Amino acid sequence: MANLGIPQNTIEILQKYHFNFQKKYGQNFLIDTRVLDKILSAAEITKEDCVLEIGPGIGTMTQYLAESAGAVVAVEIDKNLIPVLEETLACYDNVTVLNEDILKMDLVKLVEDRNGGRPVKVVANLPYYITTPIIMSLFENHVPLKSVTVMVQKEVADRMRTGPGTKDYGALSLAVQYYARPAFVANVPPNCFIPRPRVGSAVIRLDRYEEPPVKAGDEKKLFSLIRASFNQRRKTLVNGLCNAADLCLPKEQVARALEEMGLSPAVRGEELTLEQFAKLSDRLFEQST
């Protein structure tokens, strides 16, 4: 099968199937062999690996993955792409295409069924409208993972790897950094896709930690606290947290916990490190239970 990373080959396939791009599915297909090579080399795929690809599109990256990996499971929501994938991936016997919505799948079960529960590598040019829910569901559900190498909106890649005191720092940064070590791979301009997205893109690799870098007594409570801290970014942490109805935290209790940690009562959520959030969570929720 012709290499779909070459724009002319992608155009031919799209025309042959009279394919209409569906904006609601975030369809921007890669048409740059150098970018594809970069993603594959960053993901360090070997024949030992089982790869989960989210959103194969017409199968461009899937072809590259199939050449390098032991097995590839590709999950595509758009049923119109299934006959296309049957053609473009026909010569690979190590690829399984599933016509499903990734957000509705039990991914722990998928990894159990397809890889005997051993960790998989996720590689994807993600649909941008659901980047955060996909990443969070992989991590929060403890899907067995070695690494996640993904194309995301440039701004989202920045949010994933930044630290306290920057405008991009927020709940996503803390969640990603609790579960994984982020490494920037490459910036990718809009002209590497068809159709061109309106935003710049970037490839990022997230290596799953075996143990999180900080300890928190209750992971769920830690993340409720983090979300509440950034819901009202402009407010002080004390005000932001006592306004969060689901946490039921009295103002005095938050103020006391901050003081015991040596933090100013006027501190904002964006100034706290992951470690400080973990300590604050333990203090607040141990006291209230």
Among residue numbers 176 through 215, which ones bind ligand SAM (CB under 6 A)?
none
153 close to 128: Cβ distance less than 8 angstroms: yes
What's the distance, CA 141 to chain centroid?
A: 13
Interaction of residue 103 with ligand SAM, rule CB under 6 A: yes
Closest approach, Cβ 27 to ligand SAM, in A, equals 5
Contact between 5 and ligand SAM by CB under 6 A: the answer reads: no
Closest CA to 87 of 8, 214, 1: 1
Is residue 131 at the binding interface for ligand SAM, with CB under 6 A as the rule?
no
Biggest CA-to-CA distance, the chain: 67
Q: Which of 56, 170, 240, 269 binds ligand SAM (CB under 6 A)?
A: 56
Does the protein bind ligand SAM through residue 29 (CB under 6 A)? yes
Q: How far is the CB of 84 from ligand SAM (least distance, A)?
A: 10
**What's the CA gap between 267 and 238, in Å, rounded?**
8
**Given the rule CB under 6 A, which of 20-28, 160-168, 172-180, 181-189 is the region that contacts ligand SAM?**
20-28
Residue 59: partners with Cβ closer than 8 Å, 6 or more residues away? 4, 74, 84, 85, 88, 89
What residues between 60 and 79 interact with ligand SAM by CB under 6 A?
60-61, 75-78
φ and ψ at 125, to 5 degrees? -100, 95
Position 170, amino acid: G
Which of 19, 28, 272, 274 touches ligand SAM by CB under 6 A?
Answer: 28
Q: Are 66 and 47 in contact (CB under 8 A)?
A: no
The contacts of residue 29 (CB under 8 Å, 6+ apart) are 10, 57, 58, 60, 125, 193, 194
CA 197 – CA 235 distance, rounded (Å): 34
Query: Least separation, in Å, of the C-beta of 287 and ligand SAM?
Result: 40
102 binds ligand SAM (CB under 6 A): yes
Only one of the segments 83-91, 99-107, 182-190, 241-249 lies at the binding site for ligand SAM (rule: CB under 6 A); that segment is 99-107
269 is a contact residue toward ligand SAM (CB under 6 A): no
- Output 111 or 249, the one with its CB closest to ligand SAM: 111
Q: Around 231, how many Cα atoms within 13 Å sit in the side-chain half-sphere?
A: 16
* Nearest-approach distance from CB 20 to ligand SAM, in angstroms: 12
Classify residue 20 as exposed, middle or buried by CB count within 10 Å of its CB (0-12, 13-18, 19+). Answer: exposed
- 32 is an interface residue for ligand SAM by CB under 6 A: no
Report, in Å, the least distance between residue 15 CB and ligand SAM: 16
- First-to-last alpha carbon distance for the chain, in angstroms, is 61
At its nearest, how many Å lie between ligand SAM and the CB of residue 213? 30
Asked if 127 interacts with ligand SAM (CB under 6 A), we say yes
Q: Is 25 in the site for ligand SAM (CB under 6 A)?
A: yes
Which structure tokens are listed for 79?
Answer: 């049923």
The residue range among 42-50, 101-109, 161-169, 180-188 that interacts with ligand SAM, by the rule CB under 6 A, is: 101-109
Q: Does 91 bind ligand SAM (CB under 6 A)?
A: no
Tokens (6 digits) for 60: 């461009």
Residues near ligand SAM (CB under 6 A) are 25-30, 54-57, 60-61, 75-78, 101-103, 125, 127, 130
